[in-house]
Structure 1
Amino acid sequence: MNPDHARFADWDSAYVLGALSPAERREYEQHLEGCERCRRAVAELAPMPGLLARLEPERAAALLDESSDIASGPRGDLVDAVRLEDRRRRGRRNRIWWVASAAAALLLVAAIALPLALARPSLVAESVAFDSVAEVPLTATATLTQVAWGTRIELDCRYGDADGVEAPDGGWPYALVVVGLDGERTDVSSWRASPGTAARLSAGAALDLDEIASLEIRAMGSGEVLMRSAVD
């Protein structure tokens, strides 16, 4: 076990949700380079921002409302979503166990391959710009950085001034979607925007940088694609 693991053991969720400061994030990423347990934990938590983004704002507010009836138990839809994610995580653990068993028979090969895998550059980065797909005054750019557990995504998005356009309370809800080379789409973050506002988001995908085909910005609810960016 990495000797620093005890200190960083509880940082995984804050890292995936973008709650660490820039200095803490750099420190944690240095730790991830040498701690496989934390890398596994981050990879398993990477889908959680997308899972949380499925909650409607009113339901999320109700869960945080101190006056809500806690004794009535959690909402059924949230429980179902968490149970689904738990089944997926158990399936990943079973696959990891099977792979580990097979790898035991190839110990000599693994002893050579592992140092080569750890030597892979972990800070390969690519900056991309989004193209508009719908008539919405949005501009956006993103920086994708290869890290030990997958890809970190920093998104800058601005909604331009729109005369005569009134946003709903809290703004329009948008989602950042990662599209893999296999066509699978995963929501990794969400936010709200209104005319004249800007947002900077940190998100993460369990895919490596070279496994991502494109990024999309979608309107939550309708699922309409508003902007798209190809990843080389």
Structure 2
Amino acid sequence: MNADHERFADWDSAYVLGALSPAERREYEGHLETCERCRRAVEELAPMPGLLARLTPERAEALLDDGEGVDAKPAPRPELLAAVRHEARRRRIRRTRLRYAVAAAAGAVALTAVVVPIGLTRTPPGVEVVAFETVAEVPVTATAELTPVAWGTRIDLDCTYESDGTDADAPQEGWSYALYVVDRDGTRRELSSWRASPGATARLEAGTAVDLDDIASLEIRAVASGDMLLLGTPD
């Protein structure tokens, strides 16, 4: 067992549910590289976001109360109900934080699109940087950082809509774009969508169960038409 295990022992569910801050997430991922016990815990909890998305606290309480008054069935377990409520409360807190920070959000697993100033970042070890190629005449550029993690691949995307002063026809709310991942079998999955406005950069944090080595390409498409605008190919 890793010497730091006790410190990170209860971070697994917060990591899977996306409740850690970016700094905490990177710190925990560094710990996962050397702690087999925590890696197993994350793998076991990987289905939790999908299950919790289907189960409301009210429904969980109703299920636990179904057997009330029937002697042949055990009484509801308070600790199970408390756990469900705890996870639901954590998700509500997470959503509240994102509501104030996020410009647009969509996707299958906990992801965000935020309009931010363009800045310089350091690429952590093990991260693959993908520069997108433009395949349509649009003033958009994008780069992505792909990080292998226990549950698949984390994708950090910066997408910039350049402004040349001729954006009068741009919708007030911006253009809607979507990010797709294509695996080596040719299966295409939508990961997220967001709105791009002239002169702004959208920073997107997304995730996919596809392992980094199995990703054939990333695509940015226009939501309205489905046309591909940019293509990124990992090495």
TM-score normalised by L of structure 1? 0.58
Matched, 1:179 2:178: no
Where do 5+ consecutive residues of structure 2 fail to align?
A: 53-94, 96-107, 110-124
Distance 1:188 1:41, change over 3 A: farther
Matched, 1:38 2:61: no
Judge conservation of contact 1:160–1:195 (CA < 8 Å) in 2.
yes
Amino acid at match of 1:23: A
Distance 1:181 1:198, change over 3 A: same
Instruction: Considering Cα pairs closer than 8 Å and 6+ residues apart, tell me whether 1 or 2 has the greater RCO.
Output: 1
- 2:17 alignment counterpart: 13
The aligned runs of 1:62-211 (5 Å cut-off) are: 124-162=126-164, 163-211=166-214
Show CA shifts across 1:191-215 (max 9, x none). 2111111111111111111100000
Residue 11 of structure 1 aligns to a residue whose secondary structure is helix
> % of aligned pairs identical?
53
Distance 2:48 2:219 in 1: 22
Judge conservation of contact 1:131–1:227 (CA < 8 Å) in 2.
yes
Judge conservation of contact 1:174–1:220 (CA < 8 Å) in 2.
yes
Distance 1:10 1:126, change over 3 A: closer
Where do 5+ consecutive residues of structure 1 fail to align?
A: 49-63, 65-81, 86-122
Distance 1:141 1:170, change over 3 A: same
Residue 165 of structure 1 aligns to a residue whose secondary structure is coil
Distance 1:27 1:197, change over 3 A: same
Judge conservation of contact 2:218–2:231 (CA < 8 Å) in 1.
yes
Judge conservation of contact 1:159–1:194 (CA < 8 Å) in 2.
yes
Distance 2:49 2:209 in 1: 9
Distance 1:213 1:152, change over 3 A: same
Residue 17 of structure 2 aligns to a residue whose secondary structure is helix
Aligned Cα root-mean-square deviation (Å): 3.1
Residue 23 of structure 2 aligns to a residue whose secondary structure is helix
Shift of 1:138: 0.3
Amino acid at match of 1:159: Y
- 1:74 alignment counterpart: none
Shift of 1:130: 0.7
Judge conservation of contact 1:127–1:141 (CA < 8 Å) in 2.
yes
Judge conservation of contact 1:43–1:150 (CA < 8 Å) in 2.
no
Number of residue pairs matched by the alignment: 157
Judge conservation of contact 1:151–1:208 (CA < 8 Å) in 2.
yes
Judge conservation of contact 1:43–1:206 (CA < 8 Å) in 2.
no
- 2:227 alignment counterpart: 224
Residue 202 of structure 1 aligns to a residue whose secondary structure is strand
Amino acid at match of 1:200: R
Shift of 1:161: 0.7
Shift of 1:32: 4.1
